Copies of this chain bind each other. A is one copy, B any other.
Amino acid sequence: MNYAVIMAGGSGTRFWPVSRTATPKQFLAITEQRTMIQATVDRLLPVFPKENILIVGNQAHETLLTEQLPEFTADQFILEPFGRNTAPAIGLAAAVLRKKDPEAVMLVVPSDQIIRKQDHFLEIVKEGLLLAKAEPHALITLGLKPSRPETGYGYIQIDEDFHLDSYPNAFPVKTFAEKPNLETARRFLAAGDFLWNSGMFIWQAETILQEIKTHIPDLDIELDALSPFFGTSGFYPVLSESYGRMPNISIDYGIMEKAGLVFVLKADLGWSDVGSWDEVANLSHTDENANALTGTVLVSGTSNCLVKGKEKLIALVGVEDLIVVETADALLICRKGQSQQVKNIVDQLKIGDFGGYL
């Protein structure tokens, strides 16, 4: 059977003041009506029955998860006692699935990204699921056609000469490349055979667990010891002990860069990880003055502004290129192109006596 594992354990403050420690990005409706994790579930439902979707989240977000996904049962959530890296989270999900279904094929997807080409995404996923079933040892990752010389992502170079007729979008990996500098990123973009590493994977649960056994044996030991407690009341007490002992390593670094049979599914998905307010601005529909205004907003002589109002009437006069975000207790006013500086504000909040705003 096919399963989907949604990785929802992330935290982050790039969307301050909307995202807080208590409410990271995946629980926010940043560009759509539904929250990002809800949209992620919706996106998968045409291929994966609801009961075949598993959510790996953080125990601190249990209430958010159950409120936002009320149609999910308790056993569909795996709640980490604290944030760890992707290898433990994915390993845990794989072990749970294998126990349930030894032939489980699993898609791993982040909970906080946007995919505008939904149909193409599902086609690629279906191709990957078939490939994972046909080639039991294959590790498959989705590689995204880059749209700009982004320096914030890792890249995967594919070997386009090697090509399977039945799986037209699947290519072997030539190299994994770390986050490049701008010059290198431009070269990657021009070359055409470098793709963004998306954090989306497809494989058999058994296969990734064998790879973990080979490459991250300490993780394998912990997963084996946990296995008897899956689905029992002892699971979380044991996990809270065990999780800290699991190696804090990413699945990319721990497995993908070392494994033998890796395929990349080349995809052009209209994808965004919505990594900053600037990206939200880029993704937003704008009016005739290039403004994207939500809430009660009045403008005079104002253009190219993103406003996310909440309670107050917001009036903009004679301004341009601003991002304005209002929450119940805070207000961000940021020049477009500067939203990476929002972290400076978050740092000030951490240093100062502003804990409540984090």
- Are A333 and B357 closer than 8 Å at their CB atoms? no
Do A326 and B317 touch across chains, with their CB atoms under 8 A apart?
A: no
- B300–A315 touching, CB < 8 Å: no
Given contacts A324-B333, A331-B326, A333-B324, contact A341 B312 (CB under 8 A): no
Interfacial chain B residues near A338, Cβ < 8 Å: 301, 317-319
Q: Which chain A residues in 326-345 approach chain B with CB under 8 Å?
A: 326-327, 329-335, 337-339, 341-342, 344-345
- A345 vs B299: C-alpha distance when bound (angstroms): 7
Contact of A335 among B298, B319, B348 (CB under 8 A): B319
Contact A341 B313 (CB under 8 A): no
With an 8 A cutoff between CB atoms, is A9 at the interface? no
Q: Does A162 contact B (CB under 8 A)?
A: no
A349 CB-CB contact with B under 8 Å:
yes
Identify which of A313, A322, A324, A341 gathers the most chain B CB atoms within 10 Å of its CB: A313
Residues of chain B with a CB closer than 8 A to A330's CB: 312-315
Residues of A in contact, count (CB < 8 Å): 37
Contact check, B357 vs A341: say whether CB atoms are below 8 A apart.
no
Q: Are B348 and A298 in contact (CB under 8 A)?
A: yes
Number of copies: 2
A172 CB within 8 Å of chain B:
no
Look across to chain B and name the residue whose beta carbon is closest to the beta carbon of A330.
Answer: B313
Complex: chain B residue closest to A334, CB-CB: B317
A17 within 8 Å of B (CB atoms): yes
Centre residue among A298, A301, A335 by max chain B CB count within 10 A? A298
Return chain B residues, CB-CB under 8 Å to A354.
298, 313
Pick the contact of A333 from B311, B329, B333, B344 — CB < 8 Å? B333
In the assembled complex, the Cα of A337 lies from the Cα of B319 at a distance in Å of 11
Q: Which residues from chain B contact A344 at a C-beta distance below 8 Å? A: 300-301, 317
Most buried by B among A17, A311, A333, A345: A333
Q: Smallest CB-CB separation from A301: which chain B residue? A: B341
Alpha-carbon separation in the docked complex, A341 to B313 (Å): 17
A269 adjacent to chain B (CB < 8 Å): no
Pick the most buried of A17, A342, A344: most chain B CB atoms within 10 A of its CB.
A344
Nearest B-chain residue to A347, judged by Cβ: B300
The reply to whether B331 and A314 form a contact with Cβ atoms under 8 Å apart is yes
Flag whether A316 is at the interface (Cβ < 8 A). yes
Flag if B313 contacts A342 (CB, 8 Å). Answer: no
Contact call B314/A333, Cβ cutoff below 8 A: yes
* Residues in chain B near residue A324, CB distance under 8 A: 333
Contact call B317/A342, Cβ cutoff below 8 A: yes
Contact B345 A332 (CB under 8 A): no
Query: Is B333 touching A322 in the complex (CB atoms < 8 A)?
Result: yes
A-B contact pairs, 8 of them (CB 8 A): A17-B315, A298-B345, A300-B341, A300-B344, A315-B345, A317-B333, A317-B341, A317-B345
Chain A interface residues (CB < 8 Å from chain B) = 16-17, 298, 300-301, 311-319, 322, 324, 326-327, 329-335, 337-339, 341-342, 344-345, 348-349, 352, 354, 357
Additional A-B contacts beyond A301-B341, A312-B326, A313-B354 (15; CB < 8 A): A298-B349, A298-B354, A312-B327, A312-B331, A315-B345, A316-B334, A317-B333, A317-B339, A317-B344, A318-B334, A318-B335, A318-B337, A319-B335, A326-B331, A331-B331
